[in-house]
């Protein structure tokens, strides 16, 4: 009997301990208050040393992130310069400057030198030198500056050796007319076959573009070259100057990374540094010692003062919090148990602390959303069934019209109206191609058949003034193309080309394969496109979806459909000049169209 009473008391005590109210109170007292007091008593000094060490590592980690951004910035410069020098047109220009016309050089300058894009720098200065005294640049270069540049000792030394590169900071000896401080990568352009230099490229960015990556750290931050000169810094007055007095630049250059304490009459300083691997430059951070560690001493004193206050009031606060938490949680548990039986119509009044109130609000929203989703699922099912019915019904109309046109066509032939029959035959072919049985991707042959039917109709208007020439090998007729991509271009050729000339008009379609790309060209012998209109068309084609659509959206629509289907590397481009006709070039991936079974409805 006595043993049973003892077991009952133990069970009752364990039950009280298992409640949220008691668990919160005793857990906080046991695992928070007492360990904190022991920690302050036993580990005060070791904790200070650990904090100092962690602060040092934290500063090094932050410096590493800055170094990483600078490294990526410089790597982007290197990659951009490589992309320019491997361009076939640029290599041809460097080998034989007379091989290109002035217009071709201008186009090469626009398409290659002005094209480098980077998320790190906003503007670049690119100059390419050949070995015959010629240069091509994105910015104007005075002859005196060009002569000074090419006669420098480092230039002559590099141009005699293949595969050379050099990182430089120019804040006094400028190359360009705007005379802004720039960071320059000079690389020799070497012929891979002969291992002989054919020129040099100077790829530069403004110093102010790299400056934002040095911000965000405490103290003064400098990007320093191998000579100990500040290349960039948020402290703009130090740019182009040596490091502050007392810092041993030679010692910094001999170490990859590290941290030093510098003591001077002005105080005590922490010097952190890291190496930019791509060119050996240094990122140096100088922080006041007192600024870093003064907070530790203040925090220690403050903690000692507040720990006593916390210990006194914490018991009352803990009891209050535990009761406030446990009551709404019990109510929430009860309502969740009843949720399914009430068909998800069960809401709880919002009460309690912010976290519990947020939990109750989330519960109420969840219940409401579940009810809404059930209704939405039902409505969507009904809508899908309705759309499915309408889609099946809509398939009847085009086929009915097509069959009717075929009947009228044969009646015209039987009655001797050949022109009407031909017109209806072409119209039927166009309608059949527009029905879209095979989806948005079709073989090239189907697209050509569609165009031949369209031209057949147009010849009823233009007669002998219009002719179509198709120069496509039979082996390419199964190339995959986007449905109705040629018709808008042919229509533009008729409206803006053939109609405006007094001679017979010719539209020519050709096809060729360029490695893994299939190239289709449509050209006419019309009056061509003025230069300002050509620039406007190019801008429209390059614009994204946020650009408002032009009045005539045929070409842009085709271009966007190709890019959406195959990616940004594909699409159309337009070329031509006044008096020389117009050529539209389609670039698609070289692949065969999938064979599909025709829908016979």
Q: Using DSSP, state whether 577 is helix, strand or coil.
A: coil
pLDDT in tens, 115-129: 666 667 777 888 888
pLDDT in tens, 258-268: 888 877 777 77
The C-alpha atoms of residue 177 and residue 142 are separated, in whole angstroms, by 7
Asked if residue 240 has pLDDT above 80, the reply is: yes
Confidence class for position 443, pLDDT limits 50, 70, 90: very high
The C-alpha atoms of residue 133 and residue 141 are separated, in whole angstroms, by 13
Confidence class for position 215, pLDDT limits 50, 70, 90: confident
In terms of C-beta density within 10 A (0-12 exposed, 13-18 middle, 19 or more buried), how is residue 289 classed? middle
Which of 164-173, 179-188, 240-249, 419-428 has the weakest average pLDDT?
A: 419-428
State mean pLDDT over 386-413.
Answer: 55
Which of 3-17, 62-76, 222-236, 537-551 has the weakest average pLDDT?
A: 3-17
The C-alpha atoms of residue 521 and residue 538 are separated, in whole angstroms, by 17
**Backbone phi and psi for residue 526, each to the nearest 5 degrees, phi listed first:** -75, -170
pLDDT at residue 518, rounded to an integer = 94
- Reported for 261-270, long-range contacts at CB under 8 A and 24+ positions apart, including other chains, are 261/289, 262/286, 270/56, 270/59, 270/219
pLDDT > 90 in the chain, percent:
11
State mean pLDDT over 19-39.
Answer: 69
Which of 403-412, 496-505, 564-573 has the weakest average pLDDT?
A: 403-412
pLDDT at residue 133, rounded to an integer = 84
- Reported for 333-338, long-range contacts at CB under 8 A and 24+ positions apart, including other chains, are 335/363, 336/363
Q: Using DSSP, state whether 252 is helix, strand or coil.
A: helix
Contact status, residue 468 vs residue 452, Cβ threshold 8 Å: yes
Which of 12-21, 272-281, 298-307 has the weakest average pLDDT?
A: 12-21
pLDDT at residue 179, rounded to an integer = 66
pLDDT in tens, 53-110: 677 677 778 888 888 989 998 998 888 888 888 888 888 888 888 888 888 888 888 8
Asked if residue 344 has pLDDT above 70, the reply is: no
State mean pLDDT over 200-210.
Answer: 88
pLDDT at residue 521, rounded to an integer = 94
Contact status, residue 575 vs residue 559, Cβ threshold 8 Å: no
Asked if residue 8 has pLDDT above 70, the reply is: no
Asked if residue 452 has pLDDT above 80, the reply is: yes
The closest of 432, 444, 439 to 565, measured between CA atoms, is 439
**Strand blocks (E) in 254-356:** 257-264, 267-275, 282-288
State mean pLDDT over 315-320.
Answer: 72
The C-alpha atoms of residue 375 and residue 386 are separated, in whole angstroms, by 17
Q: Say which DSSP state 303 is in.
A: H
Mean pLDDT value across the chain: 78
pLDDT at residue 113, rounded to an integer = 79
Contact status, residue 327 vs residue 352, Cβ threshold 8 Å: yes
Q: Which residue has the tokens 């020519």?
A: 508
Contact status, residue 438 vs residue 414, Cβ threshold 8 Å: no
Beta-carbon contacts of 341 under 8 Å, excluding residues fewer than 6 positions away, are none
pLDDT at residue 209, rounded to an integer = 87
pLDDT in tens, 159-198: 888 989 999 887 666 667 666 788 889 999 998 888 899 9
pLDDT at residue 385, rounded to an integer = 65
Asked if residue 23 has pLDDT above 80, the reply is: no
pLDDT in tens, 367-396: 777 777 777 777 777 776 665 555 445 444
Most confident of 284-298, 388-402, 414-428: 284-298
pLDDT in tens, 457-494: 788 778 888 889 999 999 999 999 988 889 889 988 88
pLDDT at residue 522, rounded to an integer = 94
Asked if residue 546 has pLDDT above 70, the reply is: no
More confident residue, 399 or 300: 300
**Backbone phi and psi for residue 127, each to the nearest 5 degrees, phi listed first:** -135, 130
Most confident of 352-356, 508-512, 548-552, 575-579: 508-512
Contact status, residue 428 vs residue 405, Cβ threshold 8 Å: yes
Query: What six digits make up the tokens of 125?
Result: 């200065």
The closest of 325, 436, 365 to 19, measured between CA atoms, is 325
Asked if residue 13 has pLDDT above 60, the reply is: no
Contact status, residue 228 vs residue 253, Cβ threshold 8 Å: yes
The C-alpha atoms of residue 113 and residue 126 are separated, in whole angstroms, by 6
pLDDT at residue 141, rounded to an integer = 78
Q: Using DSSP, state whether 257 is helix, strand or coil.
A: strand
Distance of CA 45 to the CA centre of its chain: 49
The C-alpha atoms of residue 170 and residue 179 are separated, in whole angstroms, by 9
DSSP 496-535: HTGGG-SS-EEEEEEEEEETTEEEEEEEE-S----HHHHH
The C-alpha atoms of residue 263 and residue 57 are separated, in whole angstroms, by 20
pLDDT at residue 510, rounded to an integer = 94
The C-alpha atoms of residue 517 and residue 531 are separated, in whole angstroms, by 28
State pTM to two decimals.
Answer: 0.44
**Backbone phi and psi for residue 408, each to the nearest 5 degrees, phi listed first:** -65, -40
């Amino acid at each position: 009997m006595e043993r049973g009473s003892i077991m009952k008391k133990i069970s009752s005590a364990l039950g009280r301990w298992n409640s949220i109210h008691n668990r919160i109170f005793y857990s906080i007292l046991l695992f928070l208050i007492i360990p904190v007091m022991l920690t302050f008593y036993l580990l005060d000094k070791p904790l200070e040393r650990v904090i100092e060490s962690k602060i040092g590592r934290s500063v090094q980690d932050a410096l590493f992130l800055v170094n990483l951004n600078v490294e990526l910035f410089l790597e982007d410069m290197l990659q951009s310069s490589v992309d320019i020098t491997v361009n076939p047109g640029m290599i041809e220009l460097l080998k034989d400057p007379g091989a290109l016309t002035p217009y071709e050089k201008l186009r090469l300058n626009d398409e290659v030198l002005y094209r480098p894009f980077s998320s790190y720098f906003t503007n670049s200065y690119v100059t390419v030198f050949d070995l015959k005294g010629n240069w091509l640049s994105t910015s104007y270069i005075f002859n005196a500056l060009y002569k000074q540049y090419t006669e420098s000792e480092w230039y002559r030394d590099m141009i005699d050796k293949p595969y050379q590169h050099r990182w430089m900071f120019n804040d006094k000896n400028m190359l360009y007319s705007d005379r802004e401080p720039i960071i320059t990568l000079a690389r020799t352009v070497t012929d891979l076959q002969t291992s002989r230099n054919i020129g040099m490229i100077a790829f530069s960015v403004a110093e102010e573009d790299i400056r934002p990556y040095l911000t965000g750290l405490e103290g003064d931050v400098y990007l320093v070259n191998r000579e100990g000169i500040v290349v960039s810094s948020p402290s703009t007055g130090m740019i182009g100057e040596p490091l502050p007095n007392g810092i041993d630049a030679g010692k910094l250059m001999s170490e990859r990374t590290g941290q030093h304490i510098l003591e001077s009459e002005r105080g005590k300083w922490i010097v952190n540094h890291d190496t930019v691997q791509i060119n050996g430059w240094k990122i140096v951070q100088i922080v006041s010692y007192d600024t870093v560690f003064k907070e530790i001493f203040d925090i220690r004193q403050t903690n000692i003062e507040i720990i006593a206050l916390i210990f006194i009031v914490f018991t009352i606060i803990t009891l209050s919090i535990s009761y406030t938490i446990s009551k709404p949680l019990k109510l929430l548990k009860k309502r969740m148990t009843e949720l399914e039986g009430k068909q998800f119509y069960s809401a709880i009044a919002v009460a309690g602390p912010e976290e519990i109130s947020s939990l109750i609000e989330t519960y109420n929203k969840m219940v409401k959303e579940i009810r809404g989703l059930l209704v939405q699922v039902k409505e969507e099912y009904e809508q899908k069934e309705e759309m499915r019915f309408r889609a099946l019904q809509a398939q009847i109309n085009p086929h009915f019209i097509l069959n009717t046109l075929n009947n009228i066509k044969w009646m015209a032939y039987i009655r001797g109206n050949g022109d009407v029959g031909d017109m209806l035959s072409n119209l039927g072919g166009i309608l059949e191609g527009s029905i879209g049985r095979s989806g948005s991707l079709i073989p090239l042959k189907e697209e050509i058949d569609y165009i031949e039917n369209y031209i057949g109709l147009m010849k009823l208007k233009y007669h002998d003034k219009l002719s179509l020439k198709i120069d496509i090998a039979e082996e390419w007729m199964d190339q995959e193309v986007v449905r109705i991509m040629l018709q808008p271009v042919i229509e533009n050729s008729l409206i803006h080309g053939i109609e405006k000339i007094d001679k017979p008009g010719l539209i020519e379609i050709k096809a060729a394969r360029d490695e893994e790309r299939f190239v289709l060209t449509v050209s006419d012998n019309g009056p061509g496109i003025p230069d300002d209109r050509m620039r406007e068309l190019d801008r429209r084609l390059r614009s994204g979806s946020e650009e408002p659509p032009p009045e005539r959206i045929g070409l842009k629509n085709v271009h966007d459909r190709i890019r959406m289907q195959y990616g940004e590397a594909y699409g159309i481009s337009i070329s031509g000049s006044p008096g020389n006709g117009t050529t539209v070039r389609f670039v698609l991936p070289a692949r065969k169209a999938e064979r599909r079974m025709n829908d016979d409805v």
